[in-house]
Amino acid sequence: MEFQVVKRSKSFASFVPQLLGLYFIAFCNASIKDLNVDLQLHRGQKTLAVNDAISIIIDDTQGLGRRFEGIGALSGGGATSKLLVNYEKKLRDQILDYLFKPNFGASLQILKVEIGGDVQSTDGSEASHMHNSWDENYSRGYEWWIMKEAKQRNPDIKLYGLPWGFPGWLGQGTFSPYTNPEVTADYVIRWIHGAKTVHNLTIDYVGIWNEYKYNITYIKTLRKMLDLRGFEKTMVIGTDAYWGVIPDLIKDKSLADAIYAVGSHYPGTNSPLDAQKLGKPLWASEDYSTFNDEIGGGCWARLLNQNYVNGLLTATLSWNLIGSYYDHLPYFSSGLMTAAQPWSGHYNVSTPIWVSAHTTQFVSIGWKYFMHGSGVGKLPRGGSYVSLTNKAKNQLTIVIETMTHNHSKCVRPPLPPYEVSPQNITIVLKGSFTSISRLNVWYSKLGFDGAEDQMFQRKEPLEFENGQATVSLGLDEIFTLTTITSGNKGSYPKPPEPKPFPLPYSDNFEGHHVSEDPYNLTPQAGCFEIVKSQDASHGLVVRQTVLNAPIESCPWSLTFPIAIIGNYNWTDIAVEVDFEIPTVNGTKGVFVAARVDRGSCPTRSAQGIFFSVFPKTDKFVVSNDLAQTMILKQGHLEIDISTGWHKLSVTISGGKASGHIDSKKIFTVDMPRKPQNGWAAIGTDGFGYADFDNLRITNP
């Protein structure tokens, strides 16, 4: 596609014949150099004459609008960055640069992370810093690591923590974290304090409870205790759900004083008038949630502009940051980019990375939007534009998008119908900006129907004459017009090609550090972390560490801690692992499984082949489901496994499933009709400690 511009004279009507001649030359040889205005040539579309342009006024004379507070993304909610840490450092650094490095890729300005609560919160469960009231550990999980990597690249990035659930002990016998507001506030503030003292991370924002009912007393208590503990600058975002808190904020001044910004999820670019009248910042504190293909890029482009145009939302955060979790878990590839194969090193830099760059590389937190009708608004033939400037008013950025309806649908909420057609707009600079003679141009066009994406391309500057210039807009395009000169499309060599999960696979966990998540094992319930075994011959092992049912994010209490691994498409497979159940706080049973067909909240109804053993009762159960409602075989064990380490294995081959303990065959059954494929897994029957070592997965 050619990208040409045409000079606009003072006496424009008399220039039309010359314009047509220039346009013809441009179409033939694409070589016009004497340019003031960007005209886009559209294959298969009628190009509008420049004198059809409608003026868009950019003017600060009547003042400016709201403060821009950032574009960001969310690691967590849950376990969405699980596989990223497993990449080799060189490739991992490349991925992190695309996300966080200023003037390179997405250049994100806010990083929101899950405050792990030992709960299943979408694609897995993340470890709490306090499994119990007597336990405190700030080395668990990978959110500390990713926050430090983000800060290393961009010291100005804002950090935001939010619980999706809580460890069960906080409920004090209930399933509510609000039973004792002081205890729960202390739990959250300890996480903020640990971030600072252990990792030198300042948490800028903290939320209440993701998409769950808020508690007014708790919010006020949290604010009061933050101030008392020296975290006056950590702002509370309320309430990471929808707009239900607005009536309470209107009638309760002390509640309103406790909350810095109102954070709504998936607002559909709108906000209630009552919310706007509050005068508080309004955030889309979770948004997007859409696959990162061209339509996902269109969704993100539309949101980043129209969240302010329609709803006065001044910060927008994508769920999620990066799709680093197994395919066939919910919302696979819903991150701004995807990196789900540490074993191959493959990753995918997707369209939302460059869509983000159209704003983040040219606007800083603290800039202000222009007023509606004077730099912010809807385009006459569909699409939208926003304009922003810095405090000194010596920089200007205008972002324009023309995303069509079917090419910008987000997963949620539903998108009402609308039309977009090609159009010319004349940008008229007034007020503090009349002296601007040129704006730098960055351009993207999402490719559909076989066309290639054209993402974040730098074009010739747009020249202004008498404060005016005309731009021709096509469909599914993004323009950034800016005085900023530092924009850059970063790049690295093409990453390795994708490969299936490797077989045979083995892990003795000796390459880990204590408290780390084990590589590739992805907990769907409970928490599996590296500990040092009391048996020196086993060294480092994986322990399921949750003793009581947590206050769940999912709408049910899953009583079978489980961690999946591998390839969802596996059929015939052999899985073995060593296990030991500690005498103190030990679980009642452990299992090994194959062909596990689901994760996330539906894990409770997962099917597969589950071989469970119960050392205290010398019992075994073979079931076609995790919940043990579909028993294939059960019986009494003739070997003693009540103490020490033992090997447990299950094999599926040739229409049969068999299981062994310490190389002794325990059962053989015919394979049920379903499931036909699935992951390998290990886990426990009920909460309580169990240790695992020497995991091995092979073709049978």
Q: Which residues are catalytic?
A: 211, 286
Strand partners, 210: none
- C-alpha 278/C-alpha 255 separation (Å) is 12
Q: In terms of Cα–Cα distance, which of 320, 287, 288, 326 is closest to 82?
A: 326
Give Cα separations from 488 to 98, 149, 354, 388, 441 (angstroms).
Answer: 11, 21, 10, 19, 12
- C-alpha 37/C-alpha 5 separation (Å) is 5
Q: In terms of Cα–Cα distance, which of 226, 376, 254, 253 is closest to 314?
A: 376
- C-alpha 342/C-alpha 521 separation (Å) is 12
Residues 6+ apart with CB under 8 A from 455: 297, 351, 354, 444, 489
Owner of token pair 């975002």: 237
Instruction: Order across the sheet with 337-341: list the strands.
Output: 322-323, 337-341, 346-348
DSSP H or E stretch at residue 145: helix 143-153
Strand residue runs (E) in 329-393: 337-341, 346-348, 368-370, 377-378, 384-389
- C-alpha 50/C-alpha 548 separation (Å) is 69
Residue pair 316/307 in contact by the 8 Å Cβ criterion: yes
What phi and psi, each to the nearest 5 degrees, are found at residue 684?
-130, 155
Neighbours of 20 (CB within 10 A): 12
What phi and psi, each to the nearest 5 degrees, are found at residue 192?
-65, -40
- C-alpha 441/C-alpha 457 separation (Å) is 8
Give, in degrees to the nearest 5, the angle at Cα 141 between 135 and 142: 150
| Pair of tokens at residue 466 | 């008498």
Give Cα separations from 563 to 96, 317, 574 (angstroms).
Answer: 26, 29, 16
Residue pair 225/247 in contact by the 8 Å Cβ criterion: no
Residues 6+ apart with CB under 8 A from 364: 68, 109, 390
DSSP notation for 521-579: -EEEES-EEEEE-SSTTT-EEEEE---S--B-SSSS---S-EEEES-TT--SEEEEEEE
| First vs last C-alpha separation in the chain | 53
